[in-house]
Amino acid sequence: MNQILRHARYVLGENPVTAASFGMFALFIIAAILGPTIAPYDPLASNTAQALAGPSPAHWFGTDQLGRDIFSRIIAATRLDMGIALSSVALAFGVGTIAGLAAGYRGGWLDRVVGRIVDTIMAFPLFVLAMGIVAALGNNIENIIYATAIINLPIYARLARAEANVRREAGFVEAARLCGNSETRIVLTQLFPNVMPLMMVQISLTLGYAILNAAGLSFIGLGVRPPTPEWGIMVAEGASNIISGEWWVALFPGLVLMAAVFCFNLMGDGLRDIVDPRRRT
C-alpha cells in the first residue's frame, strides 16, 4: 500500500493536468458530502420577490424563476449526480468485468451467452435504451442508476473478455494453474489485476458519460422529478430564459456539468498510471 501511495504521489507530481483533475474530483466529493451544510441558502426555498435576480454578492450565481439560489441548488445537486454516476458505474464495472473475465477465460457456452447478451444491449441506441428502461420502470433514482449501469455494462464486459481471452494461456496464468489454484482464484488474482489499468481508464470515461446520461434524462423529463436539485433539471428549467436575457439560470449548471465530465476525462490516464503495476518499477 505504501508503494502504491508513493507511486500515486509521483504520478500526480509529474503530471500537473492529472493533479488538477484529481483536485477537481476532490472538490466534487467534498461538495457531495458536505453539500447541505455549506450551501448558503436552502436549495428548495423559494422567494418570488427575488425571482430571476442576476449574479450578485448575495446570490453568486443568481436566482431562478422561483427565486431559489442557483449556487445552493448546484451544490445540493452534486450529491445526487455524483451518487448516480458512482453507483451506476460501480454496478456496471462489477457485473460487466466479472462476466467478461469468466467468459474470456472459460470460453464455450458461457462465452456465447455473455456475447449474445452484450450484443443485444449494444444493438439499441444506448440513450434511447436508457429512456425506455426508465419510462417502463418509472423515473426514480434507483431506476436511473439501473438504466445507466445497463447501457455501460457491455463496455466492461467486452473489454474484460478480450483481455482474458488473450491472457488465459499466458505464462503467469499457467504457473498459477500448475500451483493448484482454482479457476476462480486465477481469475480474481491473476487476470483481474492485469485488466485493471484498462478498466480504470474506462471507469473514468464512463463516469462522465453516466453524469451526462442522468442529466439528459432529466432534461427531457424522464429523470429526477422537480423540485429536486439536479444539474440536468436546472439546465432544462433555465433554457427558456436564455432568450429573454436570464442567461445565468442555465449557464452555471451547464458549466458545472461540463467541468465534471471534463474532470473525469482527464483522470483516466492518471488512474491507469497509478494502478498499472508495471509502471511502479
Percentage of the chain modeled with pLDDT above 90: 17
Q: How confident is the model at residue 4 (pLDDT cuts 50, 70, 90)?
A: low
Q: How far apart are CA 91 and CA 146, in angstroms?
A: 8
Handedness of CA 50, 54, 56, 61 (dihedral sign): positive
18 in Cβ contact with 11 (< 8 Å): yes
Alpha helices in the chain (DSSP H): 2-14, 16-38, 70-106, 108-122, 126-137, 141-167, 171-178, 183-186, 192-219, 231-239, 248-275
Report residue 255's pLDDT band, with 50, 70 and 90 as the boundaries.
very high
Q: Minimal CA–CA distance to 150: which of 78, 60, 89?
A: 89
What percent of the chain has pLDDT above 70? 91
The average pLDDT across 240-259 equals: 87
Query: Residue 41's Cα: distance from chain center in Å?
Result: 27
pTM: 0.85
Domain boundaries, the chain: 2-43+87-280
The crossing angle, in degrees rounded to 10, of helices 70-106 and 16-38 is 120
Average pLDDT in the chain = 84
Judge whether residue 168 has pLDDT over 90: no
**Per-residue pLDDT reduced to its tens digit, 220-233:** 888 888 888 888 88
User: Which region holds residue 116: left if phi is over 0, alpha if psi is between -120 and 50, else beta?
Assistant: alpha
Q: Quick one: pLDDT band at residue 276, thresholds 50, 70, 90? A: low
2-43+87-280 under CATH 3.40.640.10, yes or no = no
Q: In whole angstroms, how far apart are CA 84 and each of 9, 80, 89, 184, 210? A: 29, 6, 8, 30, 8
Q: Supply the pLDDT for residue 144.
A: 92
277 pLDDT tier (thresholds 50, 70, 90): low
* Distance spanning both ends of the chain, measured CA to CA: 15
The pLDDT value given to residue 279? 56
Average pLDDT over residues 196-216: 86
